[in-house]
Each structure stands twice: as C-alpha cells, then as structure tokens.
Structure 1
C-alpha cells in the first residue's frame, strides 16, 4: 500500500488478467480505485484501457516475477493453462510450477494476501455431487491433466497459508456471461455442426456461475483475508450462482433463443466414455494436435450432476450472488447472439459459429 494525494492506495497484481475471468477482476479493481498490475504473457490493450499496468512476462520467470510483484498488497493468481486434454507436462509446467513461482515471489516480496483461482474439477466427476461441501476430498484419480495440475497447485497454495501470508482458493464452477470464448461458444458450435449429443439421461443438474459473480467472489475473499482470525485462510470454497439447473434443458433454452434446434439425441455415459478413451488413445499415439472431440473427463462432466453448497463461502468470505441465474442466462444469450454475424437467412450466423475456435481459447480465463 502506498500513500497518494487522496490517501492510501492499494496495489494489486492479477496474473492472467487478460482472460475471461481475470479481465472482470481487473475491471472491478480499477473501478474501486486500486492500482492494478496485470501479469501476462502478452499485452492486453483492453486491460490497459481500464487503467491497469500491463507487465509482459512468463510466470515461471522468478526474477521478472519478483520485480513485477514488488510493492503490491495482494496477488490474485488467475492465470492457468486450461483444457481437458494435452500433455501432462504442459499443464504441470504452468499450473503447478508457475503457481509455485508466484507463491515464492509473493512471499519474498512480503505480500500478505494471496487469492487463488482453482476449479471444482479438483474433486472430480466420478459420481454425482449434490450440494457438495468443502469437505469433499480430492479425486483419487484425475482423468484430466488440467484437473490433476490444479489439484496439486491448490494443495500448494493452501499449505502456504500462515503467519506471513494468508491464502485462499476459490472454485468457480462453469463460467458463463459476456466475454466467454470457451465453453458456451464451443458447445453452440457443436450444436450447429450437428455434433452435440445429450450424454446420459439428460436430467443431471449443475451449477453455473456468472463471470461477474466469480470476479466479485475474488474481491470478497481479499477483504475476508484481512479480517481478524480470517477463517477463510488456508481453505477452498466453491463459487456459483447457487441456482442449479438441469444442464440439457438449460442448453436447449439457450439454443432456442439463438434460433437453433434443440439437442434431442443422446448417448449413454458408458458408450461416451468408451469413445473418449479411444479418442484419447488415438490422439496420444498419433500425436494429433488440439483436443479430441470427446474425452472420459468431458463425458463425465456432461452426464453427472455437480452442484455445491454456497453457505461456507457466504459465511467465511461474505460472498453473495450479484447476478441472478435469470440475468446470467440472458447475458449469456445476448453475448452469443452479438458474436454471431447474421444475414437475413441466418446462414452467415451459422457459418460464424462453425468457424475455428478463438485463437486464445485454451488460455485461462
């Protein structure tokens, strides 16, 4: 914290501040009047336009990272390599070694608060989770290198919490809303191409999270870490909109609003997992670039129920839902519609959605 003409200014560092979630955190911090530094691998003019300072470095560069963090009051570590398939080392290098580097730099700079963006996938999708609480154990076996790396990084972050630095991990679930270039656009592209199928019986309920609710949760956690005793320190919390939806019913509402036909054809979870295992084997053996169309992890995520108890987050970090599920759905539909370029027949709109993924689709959020 430094003194300015207007009193004391807070200084925050956000890693991955150019991504879907990171950008919203930066925006909220700038609106609140904090001095913000964004650490990322490349420049993001949209972030700098908010008033943040961009610092272009690799989070695994210890010396550069220490210089970037020096003098900050808090670190929001959002940066991660995302995706449901790829070489384990690629995920481990960024998500584990990168997190270790950020933790060590924060500690050496005397930073006392550290908010880490984790994921519910650390507990896995091996079975239905309904109203799951923070006592859920980590998955015994991770079928996704992303989930495995995030679980290891989360353990590291929580273990680092102590007298010198307080840490907390947040697990926002299935982010939606304006700015999404990953989950919903990819699902809609599959629907447009006729390649989206209901997995399982289609009755699984899931939590969704408006991106602004997730961003506010990070700021709530930062405040909570300052409180005497800080019960959230060294703990992980699920974050969502708190209104579970039947996944496939909800997706069909979105598709209908976009003028697209609903998904009605289905595949069993067992068959889809078998197809995922075969695809993983083929992609691995042939060294095919990109992700397989289906994996065991993705099949389970699309078929299982997974929704979580928000009471611990409400109690310990003061989290509250600012954007309702109804509003979040509307914002998501409007965003998807706005990113389509439609002619009078709708053909250009479908062509736009069927185009290749955004070039940074595998960079976090």
Structure 2
C-alpha cells in the first residue's frame, strides 16, 4: 500500500509516517519544513514540500496513492476564525477534492475531541455527544472539516475520522512544554481541587489506531472514533510525574477555579486590545480543561477498528521525558 501523510513535519504526522514505514508501507509525506522530515526521508519516505492551500499541489500529492492520512491543520485557542477555517476546513476540502480526482481509495482524517469542549466536566463522552455551541474556533472548524470528509462518501471515497485525546510521547510539543515552562517561571498552579481525571493517548496507541483505520473493513467506514488510552487519570498527578522526571519541583499551589477563570477572562480581554493581539498566557478554555473531568468512550473504536490500547500512559510519559531531556541537554 502507498499512502500520503499530511502534516508530517508535526508530532503526530511524523510519528505515524515513521510507523507506516516500519510496517513496510510506501509513504509520501508533506509538510512545510524540510528540516523536520530529514529522518523520515532517510528511512525511505518521499517528501513533497508545499502548502496544502494550493489545490494543484494537493492533487500532485494524491497522485498514485491508495490512501491518505490527513494530519495537517491549525491547532490552538488564539487566532481569528478565518485562520482556523483556512487551515482546517479549506485545506481539508482541498484534500477531499484531490482524493476524488486522483481516485484515492480511502481518507483517514485526524480530528480532535476539542469538538466536545463546552467548559463543563464530561465522563465517557460518546462520539455523538456534541455541544449545542462550539467553545472556540478550533473546535468548530475541526467539526466542519469532519463534515467535509463525510460528505465525500456520496462520491465513493472511503472515509473515517479519529478524535484522539491528549496525545503524548517522544516529539510531543503541545501538551507538556507550556506547563514545564510555566513551572520553571513559578507560574503554574493546580486549578481547583486537583482531583479531575482526564484521558491521554500514547502516540504508539494512536499509530495502531490509524493503521487499523487504513485496513478496516466496510462496517467501519463513514464513522468518527474516539481514541484514548481508555483509562482516565488525575491530571495533576500526571503533570507532577513529568516534573519529577525532569528534576523540577512538583506543583503544590492551588488556585480556586473561579479566580483562575476570571483572571483568564481579563487576560484575554487585555490581549485583544494590545497591538498585534498577542496570545494570552491564560485562557478561559484552558482553565476549564485543566480543572474539569474529561474522558472518552472508546467502545466504538474497539468494536469497529479492533483498537486496543497496549502502551501505558506512564511508558509514553517516560518516552516524552527522555526525549525532552535529550533536546534540552546543556
């Protein structure tokens, strides 16, 4: 099988591309930064650099491949709706259109559980439990991108979408780096009582889920799947585990939820007034994420994808910490 992996210069895309190469697949990769994919090219990946907002380039990328794993997109909380729509919806439209024109058989789309976020606690969320209103541009545009993907079924494209929660392992640049830097500056506090349990996903488990999605039978098609390690853990225990591994002091200071939320609202308001609208250091959504229970029901992935998490969170955290130390040695 020959596949295209978009977003291969990012964490998830690069790790899956490497996994696919190790499984014997022919892999074409796309990303904006050539320096970030040198190791993949050395392993045999075919790299085509370029911007997925250009339809002609996307058609070139999809030519001659059997399947596409679409990992590219904008992530985060701060930014304009136009920015997130372009990177998540328009780019996905280009990928879908190119798949149809180039007769690609299957498209596996990497979505996000951010589509569920509404600032409330949730335990065992099922895929259909969407909020009445999306809490941010990222969540809304990731859902709209899913809709573009599923609409292509009508034209014969086999489609699936995955919503993995808090993916971590070597190369993770999104979850822990901000927390590590905040703790080093003495700015990190436990929000609320610190007992909230959340889901994480080992990158190895996500790799297996993506591979299973590429190979799944007809019954699995046309659906979106929650992906996690399936074992919610206290968030602040995880944060302090990582800090201890990196020889940093644990977080012990508590900040009441209401106070943190109010401070985040003021922070966001001030940043909207400043020249250039700099990104706030604290977000209301981030406060809710760090203080509330949040876990996913992964039974659909187990049933239709044969997904079973085998790599523990603690193994993934050890892998992340070893990688982080190697990156920051000296």
For structure 2, the residue ranges without an aligned partner over 5 or more in a row are none
Kindly state the Cα deviation for residue 298 of structure 1 after the two structures are TM-superposed.
0.8
Out of 67, 70, 79, the position equivalent to 1:77 is 70
User: 1:206 Cα deviation (Å)?
Assistant: 0.4
Aligned pairs, how many? 328
Contact kept? 2:27, 2:45, Cα under 8 Å: yes
Shift of 1:329: 2.6
Counterpart of 1:108 in structure 2 is 101
Deviations, residues 27-65 of structure 1 (Å, cap 9, x unaligned): 111112221111222322122112111111211111121
Question: In 2, Cα distance between the equivalents of 1:103 and 1:159?
Answer: 9
Q: Tell me the secondary structure at the aligned position of residue 224 of structure 2.
A: strand
* 1:5 aligned residue: none
User: Is residue 18–residue 47 contact of structure 1 (8 Å, CA) maintained in 2?
Assistant: no
The offset of 1:178, in angstroms, is 0.5
Deviation per residue, 1:227-247 (Å, 9 max, x gap): 2xx222221111111121100
What are the equivalent positions in structure 2 for 1:299-310 lying under 5 Å apart?
299-310=287-298
1:203 equivalenced with 2:195 (yes/no): yes
Distance 1:287 1:305 in 2: 36
Give the alignment's TM-score, normalised by structure 1.
Answer: 0.86
Q: Secondary structure at the match of 1:56?
A: coil
Deviations 1:155-174 (A, max 9, x none): 22123224611111101111
Is the contact between residue 221 and residue 318 of structure 1 (CA under 8 Å) also seen in structure 2? no
| Structure 2 equivalent of residue 28 of structure 1 | 19
Which structure would you say has the larger RCO, counting Cα contacts within 8 Å and 6 or more residues apart? 1
- Name the CA distance, whole Å, in 2 between partners of 1:341 and 1:287: 36
1:308-358 CA-partner distances (Å, limit 9, x unpaired): 11211011111121312232232223223333325xxxxxxxxxxxxxxxx
Matches of 2:228 and 2:100, distance apart in 1? 30
Structure 1 unpaired stretches of 5+: 1-9, 343-365
Q: CA deviation at 1:289?
A: 5.3
Q: Decide which of 321, 329, 342 is 2:309's aligned counterpart.
A: 321
Q: Does residue 15 of structure 1 match 2:3?
A: no
Q: Which residue of 1 aligns with 2:325?
A: 337
Q: 1:1-365 alignment to 2 at 5 Å? A: 10-43=1-34, 44-137=37-130, 139-162=131-154, 164-224=156-216, 227=217, 230-288=218-276, 290-341=278-329
Which whole-Å CA distance do the structure 1 matches of 2:14 and 2:209 have between them?
14
User: TM-score when scaled to structure 2?
Assistant: 0.95
Task: State the secondary structure of the residue aligned to 2:181.
Answer: helix
CA distance in 2: counterparts of 1:232 and 1:178, whole angstroms: 30
RMSD: 1.6
Q: Tell me the distance in 2 between the aligned counterparts of 1:189 and 1:122.
A: 27
Q: Distance in 2 between matches of 1:79 and 1:108?
A: 20
- Say whether the 8 Å CA contact 1:125–1:301 is kept in structure 2: no
Distance of 1:241 and 1:287 partners within structure 2 = 42
Cα drift, residue 261 of structure 1: 1.3
Q: Distance in 1 between matches of 2:119 and 2:277?
A: 27
Q: CA deviation at 1:259?
A: 1.7
1: CA distance, partners of 2:321 / 2:60: 41
8 A Cα contact 1:110 1:164, kept in partner: no
Equivalents in 2 of 1:73, 1:217: separation in Å?
18
